[in-house]
Structure 1
Amino acid sequence: MGQYRERSDNRGRSDNNEIGKILDEIGKLEMLKDLSIKLIADENGYADKIAHTLRNMKTAQLRRFFGAIKLIERTIEEENSEKAWDEVEAEFYLLKPKIAYAKGRKLIPEEFYQVLKVSLNKINVGTNEDKIENFKRFVKFLESIVAYHKFYGGD
């Protein structure tokens, strides 16, 4: 992941190298639902490491994207069937240009854009039931990033 600048934190690790490793691990998965909650949410887990690199990112940007995700999640829960994915698929695909727009305007850092892009590519895989489970795991992942971002003092 040579496109990232190295930046060390007080725990002695390179943030961007850590993000590169996370991107590689997510990229190896067949589906996002295969990503363990422990790896996502544990202290020093993926969400913690990602949030640490985002500590200078405005919370408004994180919340804006998170709001769009939660709206899709509510629609899935209301449908409560395998057809739920059919109801949200268009909105799901529209997430990609939203993050590209935010990246293009420099509202989100490259690392966060890459994490979102790699994760989103692991959602629309398998049956509709798999896609819903993948999406739900993505929601948990993003919720954990938001929580750790707040912990690190995100404004």
Structure 2
Amino acid sequence: MVEWIRDGLNREAILYAERFGRCLAGRDPDQKRYSALTTSQIRNIYGEVERMRMKGFDLSAMLLLKPRLTYATSRNATDGSKDFNKVFIRAIDAILEAKEESEQAQRFERFADFFEAVLAYHRAYGGK
């Protein structure tokens, strides 16, 4: 997943987003007992990502996204929220690994696109 943030989204990334979104919605047939992630748990984080997108990349806001994400997902520590936190913390770290701000901004755009895809599939599979 980190390579998609570094190098760009591809078909495999979108398939992963679909499987992950379905899993987070509690609709993965391979998961017998999985407590789903609610849309409200991630709405504030997604809203912050969209605000950053509109304003342009801001390193300070990106750094603060990690603790906000952790707080939002730990308030109701479901399996889905724990998995969501793990995946997106890794994605944020992939953004921050870039040395140049211009590269961080490009990675942020890929991150935002990936986040949007996961959220869309989460909702499509009945995420509430």
TM-score (norm 2): 0.81
- Following the alignment from structure 2 to structure 1, what is the Cα–Cα distance between the partners of residues 100 and 106? 10
| Bigger helix share | 2
Tell me the residue number matched to 1:93.
Answer: 63
- Following the alignment from structure 2 to structure 1, what is the Cα–Cα distance between the partners of residues 40 and 82? 17
Number of aligned pairs?
115
- Following the alignment from structure 1 to structure 2, what is the Cα–Cα distance between the partners of residues 139 and 91? 14
What amino acid is the match of 2:37? M
Q: How does 1:1-150 map to 2 (within 5 A)?
A: 25-26=1-2, 29=3, 32-41=5-14, 45-55=15-25, 56-76=36-56, 85=57, 88-106=58-76, 109-124=81-96, 125-150=98-123
Alignment gaps of 5+ in structure 2: 26-35
Q: Quick check: 1:123–1:134 contact (8 Å CA) kept in 2?
A: yes
Alignment gaps of 5+ in structure 1: 1-24, 77-84
* Structure with more contact order per residue of length (Cα contacts < 8 Å, sep ≥ 6): 2
Secondary structure, aligned partner of 2:95? coil
- Percent identity reads 25
Task: Specify the structure having the higher radius of gyration (Cα).
Answer: 1
Secondary structure, aligned partner of 1:66? helix
